[in-house]
Amino acid sequence: AQKVTQAQTEISVVEKEDVTLDCVYETRDTTYYLFWYKQPPSGELVFLIRRNSFDEQNEISGRYSWNFQKSTSSFNFTITASQVVDSAVYFCALSEATGNQFYFGTGTSLTVIP
Amino acid sequence: DGGITQSPKYLFRKEGQNVTLSCEQNLNHDAMYWYRQDPGQGLRLIYYSQIVNDFQKGDIAEGYSVSREKKESFPLTVTSAQKNPTAFYLCASSPPGRLNTEAFFGQGTRLTVV
């Protein structure tokens, strides 16, 4: 079963628009961790944020914000006032305290049009 | 600077040949991972190693082999048994037994069969 689902394969927005990338996860563990990564055209995955299952506080970092809701098993990522440099593939990932690997979603390709 | 180095960046292989992708890290991480990335399929785990001289198969290990003789190095061999090896390969590492910490990624190797 897919542990991390990113239903949006591709998204295009015009510069300065806000955009939300969805992430739904599945786990039976009570202790788990959620991550977002950005993959620019160069290919390397860049870490953006980590959240543990006991901390549902939303987080804001500049133009980026994350909404973690255990009730809906979602960890959505919003970019405010998007810029061309935000164009990339974004991955959501999950790890479990009882596990030994990271589970990645299939990624969302974001294109910001100038 | 600490980080993960993958080489080469681009690799071409003739059908029937084995090739080895290099992954070196100086982060003092015990755990290392190999992922394969195909368009629209996200990252799929090939092999992972939690400690020197030990490694485990991931979801798509067939046609691949690894070794972990040194903490810093986790080379991946794509054998002739791998029928569709053209893909982007990413190596990652993380601190030992602590999946609450993000994985760090190399810049990837793009393998093409010619």
Do the chains contact at A50 and B58, CB–CB below 8 Å? no
What's residue B3's pLDDT?
92
Tokens 């980026």 belong to residue: A64
Do the chains contact at B107 and A91, CB–CB below 8 Å? no
Portion of chain B with pLDDT greater than 70, in percent? 94
Residues in chain B predicted with pLDDT less than 50, given as ranges, are none
How does DSSP assign chain B, residue by residue? ---EEEE-SEEEE-TT--EEEEEEE-S--SEEEEEEEETTTEEEEEEEEEETTEEEE-TT-TTEEE--SBTTB--EEE-TT-S---EEEEEEEE-TT-TTS--EE---EEEEE-
What's residue A19's pLDDT?
98
A109 touches chain B (CB under 8 A): no
What's residue B1's pLDDT?
64
Residues in chain A predicted with pLDDT less than 50, given as ranges, are none
Do the chains contact at A102 and B104, CB–CB below 8 Å? no
Mutation target to probe the A interface, by most A beta carbons within 10 A, among B55, B93, B100, B110 is B100
Mean of pLDDT over chain B: 91
What's residue A1's pLDDT?
59
What's residue B55's pLDDT?
95
The shortest C-alpha distance from A107 to chain B (Å) reads 6
